[in-house]
Amino acid sequence: MLIRKLDAKEVNHFINQTDSDKGFNPLHLATMFGNIEMVEFLLDLKLDPAIKTNKGDRAEDIAIHRISALCTIRESELSRLERQELCLIKLMTGGFESKLDPQTVLHKAIRCKSAGLLELASRLGNPDLGLPDEDGWTAYHVALQADATAFLRKSFPDHPHDKIYSSLPPTCRPSRFSRTRKGLLCETTEDGLEVRHRAVLHIDKVVVPTEGKAAHGLPGRYLVDETTNNLNTNGWRVSSAGKEDQLILADFPIPAEDERYYFEITVDKKKLKEEAKCSIGIQTSRTSKYNIDKISLFGSTLYSYFGDVEASGKVLSYRRTNYGTLDRSFGTEGKVDTVGCGFDTQKGYPFFTLNGEYLGVATRVLTNTKYFPAVTLDQNCRLKVNFGQRPFIFDRAFESIDALGR
């Protein structure tokens, strides 16, 4: 191996190199590809596994995410899953203190029905099946949502599962836009049922009203430099921050016990010439990107119906993958449109509606993960949401996908 010919200073320089795009170092990459030998070698060189990528993931986190993904693949590729689990064990026993939360690993194990992850959770500590996460979900709720109750019963045969499930309280339902899972430029009403982009257009400038500390913790008012299109304030510069599209999630995920879920937004275009650019869909909780220039790059898993003319009514993911075209735009020409997103949690089909008309299903997603109702918006629109506080425009919201049609 070439690295063995380098002196200590050169080795230290090499192993601490990160790529500028994602902030991955050699240990992150070795873990992602399940290269057990390289993981072990880098740990012997004392490369700290607690170092994070630009997204905030440690090597352990990458291993967990890869295991989650590989648990859904066909049996012929199980060797990759085993190698990934071995990588995680190496990271946990490499002489460094593990930063993984045993409860998080427990919930991952149940979602993936992974005995290996369950064993790792036990190694990390003593995970509690009844301890709720930040959304109020216990391991029993996770198993219910991921269709893993049989796995949970088999893994913990001494627990009174029937008694627990007979009295298990329902999970909290989405009731408003989130106060925390949102872009910096999202501003909601007091009741959380309306959201708008905080940037307000004035001639050729974008002014971001602030109260005290604003975006990035910088005080004062933000103006876009007309010549460079960059945001400037007191010597600080943040590229295009006043025009970034925004993502905002509901306060709680789609309930664990729901077989079908549905919500609607009403697009209220501001009185400006430009069209409103927004979308409606579902998003996993694992994202730190709520502010971004390209609206189709949000988060880690966003499946959303984009209504602007440029997107042509496409359902896109964060990887710009086109999962289908519904051929219907919304939020254009000054119209007030009501758009709906439904989700068959058992079969993994998100579907969409427009002004009470069923548009169909554009893709299929994994059913063993937690999804939040989600919307995106630009500086030219405000959205009102209906999580069931009043009757829906679409009156067949809770019929089966088979009855609605794909």
Most confident of the following: 4-8, 178-182, 254-258 = 254-258
Tokens read off for 150: 């049989």
Domain 2-166: which CATH class? mainly alpha
Longest dimension (CA), the chain: 71
User: Is the distance from CB of 305 to CB of 315 less than 8 angstroms?
Assistant: yes
> Each residue of 138-178: pLDDT tens digit?
999 999 999 999 999 999 999 999 999 999 999 999 999 99
User: Is the distance from CB of 63 to CB of 31 less than 8 angstroms?
Assistant: yes
Which CATH number is 177-196+244-404 given?
A: 2.60.120.920
Tokens read off for 338: 């009501």
Report the percentage of the chain scoring pLDDT > 70. Answer: 65
Task: Say if strands 200-202 and 291-292 run parallel, antiparallel, or are unpaired.
Answer: unpaired
Window from 69-73, 207-211, 287-291 with minimum mean pLDDT: 207-211
> Which of the four pLDDT bands, split at 50, 70 and 90, describes residue 40?
confident
Classify burial at 390, counting beta carbons within 10 Å of its beta carbon; exposed 0-12, middle 13-18, buried 19 or more.
exposed
Cα–Cα distance for residue pair 261/392, rounded to 1 Å: 12
Average pLDDT over residues 110-129: 84
Task: Say if strands 302-306 and 371-377 run parallel, antiparallel, or are unpaired.
Answer: unpaired
At residue 388, the pLDDT reads 94
Average pLDDT over residues 229-247: 49
Cα–Cα distance for residue pair 90/97, rounded to 1 Å: 12
Give 27's strand partners.
none
At residue 113, the pLDDT reads 84
User: Is the distance from CB of 249 to CB of 238 less than 8 angstroms?
Assistant: no
Name the residue with higher pLDDT: 319 or 393.
393
Domain borders along the chain are 2-166, 177-196+244-404, 200-242
How is 149-208 classified by DSSP, letter by letter? HHHHHHH-TTS-HHHHHHTPPPPPPP-SEEEEEE-TTEEE-TTSSEEEES-EEETTEEEE
At residue 298, the pLDDT reads 40
Give the count of beta carbons closer than 10 Å to the beta carbon of residue 251.
19
- Using only C-alpha atoms, what is the Rg of the chain? 23
Closest to 148 in 3D by CA, of 251, 68, 64, 61:
68
Give the count of beta carbons closer than 10 Å to the beta carbon of residue 346.
13
| pLDDT mean across residues, the chain | 75
Give 194's strand partners.
384
> Which of the four pLDDT bands, split at 50, 70 and 90, describes residue 213?
very low
**pTM score, two decimals?**
0.73
User: Is the distance from CB of 368 to CB of 112 less than 8 angstroms?
Assistant: yes
At residue 151, the pLDDT reads 93
Q: How far apart are the first and last CA of the chain?
A: 54
Closest to 362 in 3D by CA, of 319, 403, 401:
401
Residue 312 pLDDT exceeds 60: no
